[in-house]
Every structure is written in C-alpha cells, then in structure tokens.
C-alpha cells in the first residue's frame, strides 16, 4: 500500500535519516529533491524547535509601515461613494480654508473629522 507523506513528515524522515542513521546530508538532499542547505536548515530548526520547527511559517510581514490609516481609508471610501465623479487628480492635498486646493471637486471637504491639522473654524 502506497502512503503519501505530508511535508512535515517528509522533513522529519529526512532529519531522522541524518541523525539516527548517519546518512550524509548530500544523499538525503538528493533523495528528497532538495538542496543541501534546505536539509541543514531543517536540522537546525529541528534541533532548536523540535517537530514544530519543521512546519512552514507564513512569510507575511507582521506589519506594513506604509499602509494607510484605517480611518483615512474609510473616509476615502465614503467620499468616493458620495462623489463618484471625483477622481484622484481632483483629490489634492486639503486646504484648511476650502477643503481642496482646486479642481472639479473643490467643494468637497476631504479633511478628517477631528483632525487638529484640518479642523475648520
């Protein structure tokens, strides 16, 4: 009966082959179709974290420093719904007196409510 092993099980078998059976990293890498550095990486992760170290980790970054503030994004979405004809070229930097510097949407106030920089008197 042919049994397909999962990724972690394959990595574990490769690590155990090196550690328990004395197989060379080169041979194990060749049999598993991976690089020697991958096998060395698995050995290091297994030594440090055990079986859990052989599980793939997400490569998603923990944060995105240039991501727009969620309140600003919500305000933009709100304005786009209220003014469907207003495009990016019309939405220039806000002017505290008029809402926009100029353009077709100059009557639209893009300032954030409660923002000290753009509060209107």
Dist CA 12 CA 118 (whole Å): 59
Domain that holds residue 47: 7-54
The answer to whether the pTM exceeds 0.85 is no
pLDDT tens digit sequence for 65-74: 888 888 888 9
92 within some domain: yes
What pLDDT score does 118 carry? 47
Averaged pLDDT score across all residues of the chain: 79
pLDDT tens digit sequence for 53-111: 999 888 888 888 888 888 888 988 888 888 887 776 665 555 555 554 445 455 555 55
Dist CA 7 CA 55 (whole Å): 8
1 within some domain: no
Q: Give how many domains the chain has, as a whole number.
A: 2
Tell whether 43 and 73 lie within a shared domain.
Answer: no
Tell whether 46 and 71 lie within a shared domain.
Answer: no
Count Cβ neighbours within 10 Å for each residue of 16-42 and write b for 16 or more, e otherwise: ebbeeeebebeebbeebebeeebbeeb
């Amino acid at each position: 009966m042919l049994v397909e092993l999962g990724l972690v099980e394959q990595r574990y078998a490769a690590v155990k082959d090196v550690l328990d059976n004395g197989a060379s990293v080169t041979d194990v890498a060749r049999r598993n179709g991976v690089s020697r550095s991958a096998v060395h990486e698995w050995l290091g992760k297994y030594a440090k974290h055990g079986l859990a170290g052989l599980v793939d980790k997400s490569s998603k970054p923990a944060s995105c420093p240039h991501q727009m503030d969620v309140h600003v994004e919500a305000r933009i979405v709100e304005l786009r719904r209220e003014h469907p004809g207003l495009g990016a070229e019309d939405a220039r930097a806000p002017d505290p007196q008029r809402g926009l510097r100029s353009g077709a949407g100059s009557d639209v106030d893009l300032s954030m409510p409660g923002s000290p920089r753009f509060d209107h008197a």
